[in-house]
């Protein structure tokens, strides 16, 4: 396989794409946020439960169907945001979004260490057609945390 393609389909992504973690419904979740990518038909629902203060994400899960990039992104995101505050999670959304949309030579790619496991998605920057796949679950997270339970379904279009 060519090296660029391997940047996109790293083993971690293939693994999470085949066996997504946290693919379950959270009963009594504080947020139940549908997400939809009309371009490819990918659909999912993000579930978030909050701790007693209401500020920290106690549990996150995502149920849906999609390509390996969107499935892996939701899987790794739900692992990553567990235990994070709202602010931390929203800040991570911005960093993640910048990382996969910025030109390859920009400073953001030197800061991906901060993103830990999420940095496996840095190769998406080379594949603009796949940015929406990688961000579908993240848009659901942002909508849930900023607009609350009243948020309508998020769409990538």
CA distances from 48 to 21, 89, 100, 109, 113 (A): 14, 12, 24, 29, 26
| Shortest Å distance, C-beta 1 to another protein | 7
Q: Give the nearest distance from C-beta 133 to another protein in angstroms.
A: 6
Nearest approach, Cβ of 5 to another protein (angstroms)?
Answer: 5
Strand partners, 50: 57
Q: Does 14 bind another protein (CB under 8 A)?
A: yes
Using DSSP, state whether 153 is helix, strand or coil.
coil
Residue 7 lies near another protein (rule: CB under 8 A): no
Q: Cβ distance 48 to 140 under 8 Å?
A: no
Stretch that binds another protein, among 27-35, 54-62, 67-75, 143-151 (CB under 8 A): 67-75
Per CB under 8 A, does 66 bind another protein?
yes
The CA-to-CA distance between both ends of the chain, in Å, stands at 31
Residue in the block written with tokens 């993240």: 138
Helix (H) or strand (E) holding 59: strand 57-65
CA atoms within 13 A on the CB side of 65: 2
Q: Is 42 one of the binding residues for another protein (CB under 8 A)?
A: yes
The yes or no reply on residue 20 touching another protein (CB under 8 A) is no
Using the rule CB under 8 A, which residue among 19, 24, 41, 116 binds another protein?
A: 41
Asked if 92 is part of the footprint of another protein (rule: CB under 8 A), the reply reads: no
Q: Summarize as ranges the residues that interact with another protein (CB under 8 A).
A: 1-2, 4-5, 8-9, 14, 17-18, 39-43, 65-69, 71, 127, 129-130, 133
């Amino acid at each position: 396989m060519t090296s660029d393609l391997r940047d996109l389909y790293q083993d971690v992504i293939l693994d999470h794409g085949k066996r997504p973690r946290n693919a379950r419904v959270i009963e009594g979740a504080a947020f139940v946020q549908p997400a939809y990518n009309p371009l490819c038909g990918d659909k999912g629902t993000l579930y978030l439960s909050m701790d007693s203060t209401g500020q920290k994400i106690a549990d996150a899960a995502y149920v849906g169907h999609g390509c390996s990039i969107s499935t892996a992104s939701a899987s790794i995101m739900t692992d990553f945001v567990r235990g994070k505050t709202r602010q931390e999670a929203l800040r991570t959304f911005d960093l993640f979004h910048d990382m996969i949309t910025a030109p390859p030579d920009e400073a953001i790619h030197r800061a991906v260490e901060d993103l830990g496991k999420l940095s496996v998605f840095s190769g998406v920057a080379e594949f603009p057609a796949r940015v929406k796949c990688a961000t579908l679950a993240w848009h659901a997270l942002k909508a849930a945390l900023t607009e609350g339970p009243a948020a309508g379904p998020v769409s990538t279009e």
